[in-house]
Structure 1
C-alpha cells in the first residue's frame, strides 16, 4: 500500500515540485548553521553549472 501511494504521488507531482521537495529534504538534514550554509552554497553551485548565464532566456 505504501508503494502504491508513493507511485501515485510521483505520477501526480510535477518535476519542479519533486525537485523542490528533494532540495528541502536535503537542506533539512543539516546538522548546524554551517552545514546548512554549505549545503545552500552547494545547491547554488550545481544550479549555476547546470544553467550557465549565457544559456538563460530573457
Structure 2
C-alpha cells in the first residue's frame, strides 16, 4: 500500500514541485554557510543560462 501511495503522489506532483524539492535537498546538503552560498550562486547562474529547448540552436 505504501508503494502505491508513493506512486500516486509522484504522478500527481508537478514538475515544478519536483524541481523545487531537488533544489532544497541540494541546498540542505551544504556543510557550512560558505558552501550554502556557493550552491545558491551556482543555482542562480544555472537558472540565468537556461533556455527553452527550442532556443538551443540560436546560441
* TM-score class normalised by the smaller sequence: 0.7 to 0.9
Q: TM-score, normalised to structure 1's length?
A: 0.75
Q: TM-score, normalised to structure 2's length?
A: 0.74
Which structure would you say has the larger Rg? 2
Question: Hey, which bits of structure 1, 4+ residues long, moved more than 3 A?
Answer: 1-6
Q: 2:35 — aligned with what?
A: 35
Gaps of 5+ in 2: none
Gaps of 5+ in 1: none
